[in-house]
């Protein structure tokens, strides 16, 4: 971060200037009944209960430094019943069928308090949601030989929805809070996935070479995506925060390879490779419409064809990623054990946001560890991380510029006129530099 010389006046509104203290409690209980798993036909059934509740805490604003009591009033109850049947058909074929039915009930009955320009405000809120899910999985495996197993599976999964409670923030004007609620930004829908997978698990060369690989396809509905928003506070200044919206549909195609090779006494090499193609099939974004607006269509909204992100790649997903590892271990003449480990990880370039207009470059990180153990209790390790000092950013976010002048933009249709908004900018997470270190551990 470079700080310009001379006096500066930087205002960072929103979540970056707040502090909070949050507490919670939870309780869970599960009961399971299973048959003799050594039999050709075996199964199990079970029930599960989970309850979590947010407790009163406080929030505050760095400009005032005053902690204000808060009560999230959030409660989550999960109840589930599940079961599995596994059948060893013969010495080569095995199949299993498992399923889980769950109900998630979420409630919030709390309040948000804040001090704006010296005036205290409180906004109470109440909301609830219930999500039901049925997630089965079917697996079929074929033991080709003692050291080779082929398998395939079809499975469904889910992630229950939730709430964006910032829409109730006491800092916001009543009009701003009502506008967010009208857009449905208070609620996050449940995410659902269907996964198809084919794979192999195998050992070769007298069990010195292990090769595991799989192909998969994932159909992802209502994927959660983080975006930012600027709304007016009660004192007329903007308030910036992030919230989660649901992407319509995403499909993911991929290949994974895992290998280990003990190619010589005391030596072990490894290679892990992943290819991932994650593409959005259906999602409409007002930000995308803004980016593609022109003189002929100056104020498109989220329903305009320009808002479609179909065909775009998912952010922060490198298409290619692999890790190479090399390890050597041995014993000195005095009985001390030693080891050396080297690994290099490569990630290809990835997009910062769904608009696919900015990328984080490809990165290559290497690490080295040397260890010495005089006995089973003591271990001394020297390490170097990021050996070649790769400075590729680790992450980034298309956010809002806190220092650039505000600009006037046309209001989305059917509204007319203009609104004052903040310009966009990028926040980047810098890579950690090359680091050296020593570790001493003692086991007792």
Of these ranges, 10-19, 135-144, 418-427, the one predicted with the greatest mean pLDDT is 135-144
What burial letters (b/e) apply to 11-47, b meaning 16+ CB within 10 Å? eebbeeebeeeeeeeeeeeeeeeeeeeeeeebbeeee
**Residue 218 contacts residue 252 (beta carbons within 8 Å):** yes
3-state helix, strand, coil in the chain (%, to 5): 5, 65, 30
**Residue 219 contacts residue 226 (beta carbons within 8 Å):** no
| Per-residue pLDDT band at 76 (split at 50, 70, 90) | very high
**Does the pLDDT value for residue 61 go beyond 90?**
no
| Per-residue pLDDT band at 2 (split at 50, 70, 90) | very low
Choose among 76, 73, 62, 59: nearest CA to 17.
62
Mind giving me the DSSP string for 224-266? EEEEEEEEEBTTS-EEEEEEEEEEEEEEEEEEEEEEEEEEETT
| Per-residue pLDDT band at 16 (split at 50, 70, 90) | low
Average pLDDT, the chain: 89
**Does the pLDDT value for residue 392 go beyond 90?**
yes
Q: Which of 102-106, 211-215, 234-238, 278-282 has the lowest mean pLDDT?
A: 234-238
pTM: predicted TM-score of the whole model, two decimal places: 0.84
């Amino acid at each position: 971060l470079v700080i310009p010389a001379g006096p500066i006046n930087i205002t960072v509104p929103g979540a970056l200037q707040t502090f909070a203290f949050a507490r919670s409690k939870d309780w869970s209980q599960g009961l399971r009944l299973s048959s003799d798993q050594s039999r050709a036909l075996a199964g199990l059934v079970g029930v599960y209960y989970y309850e979590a509740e947010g407790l009163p805490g406080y929030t505050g604003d760095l400009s005032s430094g005053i902690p204000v009591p808060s009560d999230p009033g959030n409660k989550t109850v999960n109840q589930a019943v599940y079961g599995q049947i596994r059948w060893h058909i013969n010495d080569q074929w095995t199949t299993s069928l498992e399923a889980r039915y769950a109900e998630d009930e979420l409630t919030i009955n709390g309040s948000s308090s804040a001090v704006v320009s010296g005036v205290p405000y409180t906004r109470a809120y109440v909301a609830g949601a219930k999500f039901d899910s049925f997630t089965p999985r079917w697996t079929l495996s074929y033991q080709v030989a003692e050291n080779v197993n082929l398998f395939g599976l079809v499975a469904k999964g889910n992630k229950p929805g939730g709430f964006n409670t910032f829409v109730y923030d006491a800092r916001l004007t009543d009009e701003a809070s009502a506008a967010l609620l009208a857009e449905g930004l208070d609620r996050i829908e449940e995410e659902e996935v269907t996964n198809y997978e084919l794979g192999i698990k195998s050992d070769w060369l007298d069990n010195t070479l292990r090769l595991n690989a799989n192909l998969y396809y994932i159909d992802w509905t209502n994927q959660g995506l983080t975006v930012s928003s600027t709304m007016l506070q009660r004192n007329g200044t903007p308030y910036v925060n992030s919230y989660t919206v649901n992407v319509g549909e995403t499909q993911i195609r991929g290949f994974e390879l895992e290998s280990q090779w003990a190619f010589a006494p005391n030596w072990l090499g490894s290679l892990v490779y992943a290819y991932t193609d994650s593409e959005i099939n259906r999602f409409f974004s007002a930000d995308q419409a803004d980016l593609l607006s022109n003189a002929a269509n100056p104020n498109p909204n989220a329903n305009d064809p320009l808002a479609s992100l179909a065909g775009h790649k998912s952010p922060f997903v490198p298409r290619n990623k692999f890790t190479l590892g090399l390890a050597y271990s041995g014993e000195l003449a005095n009985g001390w054990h030693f080891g050396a480990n080297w690994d290099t990880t490569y990630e290809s370039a990835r997009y910062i946001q769904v608009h696919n207009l900015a990328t984080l470059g490809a990165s290559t990180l290497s690490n080295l560890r040397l260890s010495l153990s005089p006995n089973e209790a003591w271990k001394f390790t020297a390490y170097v991380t990021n050996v070649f000092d790769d400075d590729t950013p680790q992450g980034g976010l298309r956010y809002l510029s806190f220092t650039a002048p505000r600009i006037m933009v046309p209001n989305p249709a059917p509204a007319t006129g203009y609104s004052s908004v903040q310009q966009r900018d990028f926040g980047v997470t810098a890579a950690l530099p090359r680091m050296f270190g020593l570790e001493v551990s003692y086991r007792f």
